[in-house]
Amino acid sequence: MTLHREGYLIMAVGLTILTGIQILNYYLFTFTGWLWLFLILTLGALVMAYLIIQFFRIPKRTCTFTDRDIMCPADGKVVVIEEVEETEYFNDKRIQISIFMSPMNVHANYTPISGAVTYVKYHPGLFLVAWHPKSSTENERTTMVVRHSSGKEVLFRQIAGAVARRICYYIRPEQQVTTGEEFGFIKFGSRIDVFLPIGTKINVNLGDVVKGKLTKLGELN
């Protein structure tokens, strides 16, 4: 396991603050002799340090998919599988799969399929809870599209949630990407939407717990 570069500053600041609190806690214990308070505050500092570090963890995973497989781009839970009208890029019907990412999930995002990046657009917006139906079109978000060698395109969208306040993305139009390549990171609770061509074979069900680089969402026909 490694730690993501997007968390270096946050971890440094957070751990510095917690260290300062613990130093004050020690002097408070020395002055009052209240062991119970010292233990409670120490436990609280340790829990906060663990939560900060675990959020930015990047587990080592091997991505093994065929050329036409659509890989899950993020850890989380499948909260939507439905046929919808995609209005930003395709302007036609697509199969939408949405993955909700809680603050306890790994928050790195990976490209679901290999191909050429044809579209990247960042949208400032609101911070509705990530499972809200309008979060896909009204929240802060970044939309990306990759054209597979077959000519079919897959759209995936990072969506900020009520807690998430920063979307990071690293790919640009005309760039060639491969399945499982990291394309971004969302800080704190959030969501990923994937829009697939009608007729795509779907390999997940509503409510499934999925993992980026490990779970197969579907397969292009």
The residues annotated with a catalytic role in the active site are 190
Q: How far is CA 215 from the centre of its chain?
A: 14
**Cα dihedral 189, 2, 175, 156 in deg (nearest 10):** -20
Backbone region of residue 33 per phi and psi (left: phi > 0; alpha: psi in -120 to 50; beta: other values): left
Tell me how far apart the alpha carbons of residues 62 and 216 are, in angstroms, rounded to a whole number.
13
For 73-88, b/e burial (b = at least 16 CB within 10 A) is bbbbbbbbbeeeebeb
Residue in the block written with tokens 């396991």: 1
